[in-house]
Amino acid sequence: MSTSLDLDAYFQRIRWTGAASPTLATLAGLLQAHASHIPFENLDVLLRRPIPLDLESIQAKLVHANRGGYCFEHATLFAAVLEAIGFTPARHAARVVLFGSITEMPRSHMFLTVSLDGAAYVVDPGFGPFAPPFPVPLLDGHTQQTHWMARDGGLWTLHVPRDGQTVPGWTSTLEHENPIDFEVSNHIIATHPTSMFTNIMILSASTPKGRINIMNRGVMMLHEGTATRTQLADRVALRSLLVSHFGFDLPEVEAMRVPAISEWD
């Protein structure tokens, strides 16, 4: 997968000028830079566009067009970057339990693990506003940081901060998956009428002093630790936020239908 990667263009996109060697410092730095410059968004799903997972298409969108994407796109791109540098990432699927129980949620999330110097780390650049901005040690109950892992039998759960608490985010068996496995999941998530992503709008991007999160009409601006909540007036306001905080313009959103926002129909 790494043979067709334009690593220089990716480094320019995330403004990375550090080392390109397979070390923990490089892994942490790349993940932080990726999270800071490539947003999470599901706009193409809502626009009823295909979401291709070949590396050429993902680079065209996330790197060259300054767009964002969702988990399959982020994790596929980041895995190719790591492989090009000399890491050996493993691909995994998870059930997102933030929004339902383990028996209700499909294995619809993609993330990575990386082993270095006898230790393993969870690397998850595509979990939107809940994504850990650092490699999370794959240790049971490692709670010294904002994100941590817990093990229950054969299941591993990533815990994430949400509304002032730390809650389970996703659960996985850590079974190794192949890229083709995510092609099937991606198609269902991007097209099925009951999929969360075909019904609601979720966007998240880093800002110079915080973060902006959008879910449907709700907008939360985090600025130096203070949260301000507002409501999108209309789709013109959405387009304006894309330009000012997400780094791209997408005129098509002014006619985009979001099923969860009935007043926009």
CB neighbour list of residue 165: distance below 8 Å, 6 or more residues apart = none
What single letter denotes the amino acid at residue 57? S
Residue 124 is among the residues annotated as catalytic for this protein: yes
3-state secondary structure 175-218: CCECHHHHHHHHHHHHHCCCCHHHCCCEEEEEECCEEEEEECCE
CA–CA separation, 252 and 235 (whole Å): 10
Which 3 state secondary structure label does DSSP give 29?
Answer: helix
Residue 159 is among the residues annotated as catalytic for this protein: no
Please, what is the Cα angle at 74 between 42 and 19, to 5 degrees?
Answer: 145
DSSP code of 61?
Answer: I
Which candidate in 71, 74, 92, 147 is catalytic?
71
Token readout for 119 is: 């230790």
Which candidate in 109, 147, 159, 245 is catalytic?
109
Give exposure, 177-189, as e/b (b: 16+ Cβ within 10 Å). Answer: beeebbeebbeeb
Which candidate in 37, 124, 147, 159 is catalytic?
124
Residue 71 is among the residues annotated as catalytic for this protein: yes
CB neighbour list of residue 40: distance below 8 Å, 6 or more residues apart = 68, 69, 70, 74, 126, 127, 128, 129, 131, 202, 203, 204, 205
Report, as residue numbers or ranges, the catalytic residues.
71, 109, 124
